[in-house]
Structure 1
Amino acid sequence: MTIIRDWTPDKAGVFGQENLVFDHGLHERPMFDDEGLARLLDQYPREQLGVFTMGEDPKAWTTWRKGSAGNLTGEQLLEAAQTGRIWLNLRHTNDYLPEYAALGDEIFAEKQAKVPGLRTFKRDLGMLISSANAQVFYHLDVPLVSLWQLRGQKKVWVYPVADPYVGELDLEKIVLKETAEQFAFDPDWDKGATAYDLTPGKMVTWRQNAPHRIENGPMLNVSLSIEFMTPAALMRANVIYANGVLRRRIGARPRIQNGFGPAALTKLAVARGAKALKLQTPHVRHLPVTFGLDAGQPGVLVEGMSA
């Protein structure tokens, strides 16, 4: 039985190139019930667990704060997500838990069987467990992304890969890791966005580098977030990287080329050379740990921590 229930030739033909919505059956699997999630949180490496909270204004992206889960059990962490305002991010779950590695293999085997010529790599299968009304601020990702809703409801706004939503200079700064993936948002941009209401059994995937933001409904949310690359996606990332180097080193005003034409291949060589020579120094943003979770009241934030 396939995971995605509404593959069509039209969807398969533009997968990875356009915004698409699918129906899936992952939400019916017991690994995502309370017991399965508590077990996941116990088994996932605690030092890799992302714990975050945030404000309520969608423009106030600087209110995104990092916390610590301390020694809370998986059951207590799940209770914190059910009763507080936190976002638990379990990146690369497929690298740490065999059950999720097998799930990732199953998902990508189906995608590659359904989409002619699709080849994927740099696969990151991550779990998101988040509180009622929590949000993720306006941002974009360098790889391709698919978001699978398992429990609860959330709304996702996806914006065009164009000015004013994101310019080529913004893309270069993010790919070169000069800035964070989150950046300033204008609520008027919602007029140009495509909004998706995700319920259990829905998956949405969007164009590479498309800015997006997320707001949870008034309940616990559980989602599967998958990032991956294809040869075309990796080429695009290298072209943007090379453009940034050329702009900074020689004052060029380059443009993005899609595909594998001569200009793109030349920029691929530029990007590889710049990385080998370490011409660009990433400015990695490390958020300080500013809160913890109370073992007695897991939904309560303990302020004033530092790390």
Structure 2
Amino acid sequence: MSVITDWTPEKARAFTRANLAFEHGLHERPMFDDAGLESLLDRYPRDKLGVFTMGHDPVDWQSWRRGSAGDLSGRQLLNAAKEGRIWLNLRHANDYLEDYAALEAEVFSEKTERTGVRTFKRDLGVLISSANAQVFYHLDVPLVSLWQVRGQKRVWVYPVAAPHVGPEQLEKIVLRETAEQMAFQPAFDGVAEVFDLTPGKMVTWAQNAPHRIENGPMLNVSLSMEFMTPAALMRANVLYANAVLRKAGARPSVQAVPHPGALAKIALARAVKVSGMSKTFDKSLPTTFTLDPARPGVPVDLAA
């Protein structure tokens, strides 16, 4: 039985190149009920677990803070998400847990069969988040699909163009000189494509499309699947090379393969990476709070 239940020839052709909505059946699997999530949280490497909280204003992206889960059990962590304003991010679950590795293989095997697109650098992450929590305006370098399995959320997807993201801003993110989060203007919503996700819904968008997310008034569980294709990796390398060239005083533009200029830029990007000349920005936030076992949904400031 297919994971995605509404493939069409048109969607298969547009996959990775356009914003698309799909329906799926993953929300019916027991691995995402409370017991399954508690087991996941107990088995996932604790030092890899992302624990975050945030403010309420979508413009205030600097209110995004990293915390620590300490020794809380999977049940306590799930309760923290149910009771507080917490965003738990379990990236690369497919690299650490056999059942999630099997899920990743199942999903991407079907994508390849349906679309003919080869994928690699796959990251199947699990997002467990509180009622009304949000992810601020940002973009990702890889391609992304977001699968809703519990709760509901709204996703705004914006054009890959100025003023939503400019060439220099995009290049800095690809070069890892700055984080993916960016300043947001509410006026941007006027041109956004909006997707309301409920269990059994999935959305995927064009590479590098800025987006933001707001949860509905209940616990949310989603899967974030990042991946590359040959074309996506080539674009990332062209952008990387453009960043290097811009630093040298050029004013580069983005060419698509097989343009000779794009091929030369891919070679340049690889040479810079191999040489060790590139400097990367440390995107890891400092840990500013912990979760109290007595009240796991309430962040406790470490400076207090």
TM-score tier after normalising by the smaller chain length: over 0.9
| AA of the residue aligned to 1:277 | S
Which residue in 2 is equivalent to 1:159?
158
Gaps of 5+ in 2: none
| AA of the residue aligned to 1:51 | V
Which residue in 2 is equivalent to 1:241?
240
Which residue in 2 is equivalent to 1:271?
269
Which residue in 2 is equivalent to 1:104?
104
Which residue in 2 is equivalent to 1:149?
148
For 1:134 and 1:112, how far apart are their aligned partners in 2?
Answer: 33
**Equivalent residue of 1:228, what SS?**
strand
For 1:240 and 1:147, how far apart are their aligned partners in 2?
Answer: 24
**Equivalent residue of 1:291, what SS?**
strand
Gaps of 5+ in 1: none
Which residue in 2 is equivalent to 1:282?
280
Alpha-carbon deviation of 1:305? 4.9
| AA of the residue aligned to 2:80 | A
Alpha-carbon deviation of 1:296? 1.1
TM-score (norm 1): 0.98
- Once the two structures are superposed, residues 108-165 of structure 1 have per-residue CA deviations (whole angstroms, 9 ceiling, x without a partner) of 000000003x100000000000000000000000000000000000000000000100
2:255 matched to 1:257?
yes
TM-score (norm 2): 0.99
Alpha-carbon deviation of 1:284? 1.4
Counterpart contact for 1:292–1:305, Cα < 8 Å? no
Which residue in 1 is equivalent to 2:182?
183
Which residue in 1 is equivalent to 2:87?
87
For 1:259 and 1:4, how far apart are their aligned partners in 2?
Answer: 30
Identity of aligned residues (%): 67
For 1:114 and 1:138, how far apart are their aligned partners in 2?
Answer: 31
Q: What pairs up with 1:65-80 in 2 under 5 angstroms?
A: 65-80=65-80
Note closer, same or farther for the CA distance 1:305–1:114 as it changes in structure 2 (3 Å cut): farther
Which residue in 2 is equivalent to 1:170?
169
Alpha-carbon deviation of 1:259? 2.7
| AA of the residue aligned to 1:156 | V
- Once the two structures are superposed, residues 78-103 of structure 1 have per-residue CA deviations (whole angstroms, 9 ceiling, x without a partner) of 00000000000000000000000000
Alpha-carbon deviation of 1:219? 0.1
Deviates further, 290-299 or 280-289: 280-289
Counterpart contact for 1:175–1:241, Cα < 8 Å? yes
For 2:228 and 2:193, how far apart are their aligned partners in 1?
Answer: 23
RMSD: 0.9
Q: What pairs up with 1:282-301 in 2 under 5 angstroms?
A: 282-301=280-299
**Equivalent residue of 1:6, what SS?**
coil
Alpha-carbon deviation of 1:257? 1.1
Which residue in 2 is equivalent to 1:121?
120
| AA of the residue aligned to 2:34 | D
Alpha-carbon deviation of 1:202? 0.2
Q: What pairs up with 1:198-209 in 2 under 5 angstroms?
A: 198-209=197-208
Counterpart contact for 1:5–1:24, Cα < 8 Å? yes
For 1:135 and 1:262, how far apart are their aligned partners in 2?
Answer: 42
